[in-house]
């Protein structure tokens, strides 16, 4: 299953840290790409450093026009999954989401325009309380992929050896 994430509505500087975390969660929880605009270019650098050290070829695409992106992804058979506290309960829609081949997950920052609710194939709520795009995204991706996202990457320079205490990291380029 191919999953991409579209970040909309972020405010430059003010939302940079949250947007970076949305990108990190997208990568670590099984999406292959994040599309974003009006972003600090350092976010792209941060993610490429993480890819180099910990593996994967997760992509960051800087876009001009998010409405055009949604339209073209729809034409390319992506289902649009908008995360919103006003949507359908994730418990109800998760089994349908797991059957999709290509999904574009839309996460907001500021108030999301009405047209996103209309164009979305699924408006999905992770509970009906306001919280965070980072948490909503992590839970959605985990519910869809059901832990299959937690994989090892052959192109990683480093790999963590889980331990009860302390930190063990294998350096795959030298060890």
Q: Which residues are near ligand SAM by CB under 6 A?
A: 83-85, 107-109, 111-112, 125-127, 129-133, 136
**How far, in whole angstroms, is CA 67 from its chain's centroid?**
18
Residues in the chain: 175
Least spacing, CB of residue 61 vs ligand SAM, in Å: 19
d(CA 138, CA 42) in angstroms, rounded, equals 22
Q: Which residue has the tokens 């052959």?
A: 154
Q: What are phi and psi of 118, to 5 degrees?
A: -75, -40
Closer residue to ligand SAM in complex, CB, 109/145: 109
Show Cβ contacts of residue 174 under 8 Å, excluding neighbours closer than 6 positions. none
Closer residue to ligand SAM in complex, CB, 107/144: 107
Least spacing, CB of residue 120 vs ligand SAM, in Å: 11
Least spacing, CB of residue 46 vs ligand SAM, in Å: 21
Least spacing, CB of residue 64 vs ligand SAM, in Å: 21
CB 4 within 8 A of CB 73: yes
Closer residue to ligand SAM in complex, CB, 131/172: 131
Closer residue to ligand SAM in complex, CB, 57/88: 88
């Amino acid at each position: 299953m191919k999953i991409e994430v579209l970040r909309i509505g972020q405010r430059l500087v003010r939302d940079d840290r949250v947007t970076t975390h949305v990108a990190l969660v997208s990568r670590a929880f099984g999406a292959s790409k994040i599309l974003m605009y009006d972003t600090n270019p350092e976010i792209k650098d941060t993610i490429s450093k993480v890819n180099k050290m910990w593996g994967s070829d997760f992509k960051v695409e800087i876009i001009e026009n998010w409405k055009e992106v949604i339209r073209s992804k729809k034409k390319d058979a992506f289902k649009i999954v908008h995360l919103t506290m006003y949507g359908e309960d994730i418990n109800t829609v998760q089994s349908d989401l797991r059957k999709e081949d290509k999904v574009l997950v839309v996460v907001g920052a500021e108030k999301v325009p009405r047209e996103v609710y209309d164009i979305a194939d699924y408006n999905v709520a992770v509970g009906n309380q306001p919280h965070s795009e980072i948490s909503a995204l992590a839970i959605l991706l985990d519910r869809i992929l059901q832990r299959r996202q937690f994989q090892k990457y052959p192109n990683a320079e480093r790999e963590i050896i889980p331990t009860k205490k302390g930190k063990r990291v294998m350096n795959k380029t030298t060890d």
